[in-house]
Amino acid sequence: MASRIASRLLRRSSPTLGLLRSYTHVRNYSSQLSGYLLNNCYLDFDHWFTMDDSNTFALSAGLIPVGPQSSKLTRRNNYFPNASPYQLWSRSFASDNGDKFEAVVPFMGESVTDGTLANFLKKPGDRVEADEAIAQIETDKVTIDVSSPEAGVIEKFIASEGDTVTPGTIVAIVSKSAAPAETHVAPSEEAPQKESPPVKAEEKSPKAEEKPTKVEPPKKQAPKPTPSKTSPTEPQLPPKERERRVAMPRLRKRIANRLKDSQNTFAMLTTFNEVDMTNLMKLRSDYKDEFVKKHGVKLGLMSCFVKAAVSGLQNQPIVNAVIDGDDIIYRDYVDVSVAVGTSKGLVVPVIRDADTMNFADIEKGINNLAKKATEGALSIDEMAGGTFTISNGGVYGSLISTPIINPPQSAILGMHSIVQRPVVVDGSILARPMMYLALTYDHRLIDGREAVYFLRRIKDVVEDPRRLLLDI
């Protein structure tokens, strides 16, 4: 059996080596591989091996003698009996000696092709563990970490901050055997010597005191008042040292472009209404403890407004539709985007199939997405899509505003702060917790009647949540 395999290797090694020599990036290795393969017969040519430009090669499958040379390889199934000195191995990383590994940019999503290397979380010489973040990539939508493939020490950075990178780009080289860099503190032996300059200043001080007695030309400074004559007419600009210029983050650029495109594309119109929050706030107060006890999450206002928006979209399907060229696409599902403000900008994660969820499911979904948004851990899929957006500016104290449509949707609901205002109830003037609502819609698709009916439906449901139970 061994003789048949050896003759098979020798027969097939020559044409295979000829094929390898035809590729430019492996020509330098052909002579070495010839001796390595023909003399030792280590490689089974029923399998492939690959090379790269970093003077390294990785075996996807091959016959390697069991011994010191195979200590850093990964064992696979073999073609020989257990007594055979040859086993089948594979190497997962390409390196000169299996000691160095490459930290590369991961896959960033179907719709994201590149990103900007925002900052490094480590420095060359720092110790890192496996899967520990080394750098952060900022895309149009989310921030993605570049992790170390193995535990080791960062040998060097290949990319620089501010570079545009794509999936697979090498960011850093991690070495398993290198020692962490030690910080050296410079000795402060020269500190006493720095005290000598003040002595020289004291020696010169008497001479400086004698000069004012000999030279008395204060009159030569008289031309200084001349600028004061022109200063009243010239603007007093702050010095440039008090200004800072920083690069705009990719997320902010994306937000700016989308909002401007929305303004240029849609025929936006906003309609307003106000809602009495008395009944909804009483509902929360009466059942908040039982709600937390059963569902493990607090009952907030957003879940009721999401359910109200679902009811409104089902009553006015045109608000849930979108223009696509010369066609109108009606969506028979409701994916509600909830605007969340973060330190890096506004993001709109999506609550999928909100029309099939109850209050508890919506509250859990909102809390989960808000937490991820704050931590910068939202994925591309969690922000893709959405048929309708709700923006709550009331958490920041906004009294009234006109929100901008989130493309490619056709409408957006703006919530605002709750303020005690005098209103007429059954002929009496009472102080009630009131909120202004604003609906911005694409007037190319949605007429004013549908927009007003939609906003009225939200008002009716919020003022009397029992309508959701009775579906009226």
Residues identified as active-site? 443, 447
Torsion of CA 325, 327, 330, 336, to 10 degrees: 10
Q: How many whole angstroms separate alpha carbon 176 and alpha carbon 182?
A: 17
Residue 49 makes CB contacts below 8 A (sequence gap 6+) with 43, 57, 58, 59, 60, 61, 62
Give dist(CA 453, CA 4) in Å, integer: 84
User: Strand, helix or coil at 14?
Assistant: helix
* CA-derived radius of gyration, the chain: 35
Strand partners, 433: 420
Ranges of beta strands (E only) in 91-169 are: 100-104, 115-120, 127-128, 133-138, 143-147, 152-157, 164-165
Task: Output the CA torsion sign for 418, 420, 423, 426.
Answer: positive
Q: Which residues pair with 430 in a beta bridge?
A: 423
Q: What is the DSSP letter of 192?
A: G
* Cα–Cα distance, 445 to 403 (Å, whole number): 18
Q: Other CB atoms closer than 10 Å to residue 129's CB: what's the count?
A: 10
Cβ neighbours of residue 372 closer than 8 Å, sequence gap 6 or more: 349, 378, 382
H-helix or E-strand spanning residue 261: helix 250-265
**Closest listed residue to residue 171, CA positions, set 241, 122, 240, 109:** 122
Q: Which two tokens stand for residue 165?
A: 């990178």
Helix-then-strand count for the chain, H and E: 10, 23
| 301-315 helix and 448-463 helix, angle to the nearest 10 degrees | 140
| CA separation for the pair 184, 181 (Å, rounded) | 9
Distance (Å, rounded) from C-alpha 418 to C-alpha 398?
Answer: 9
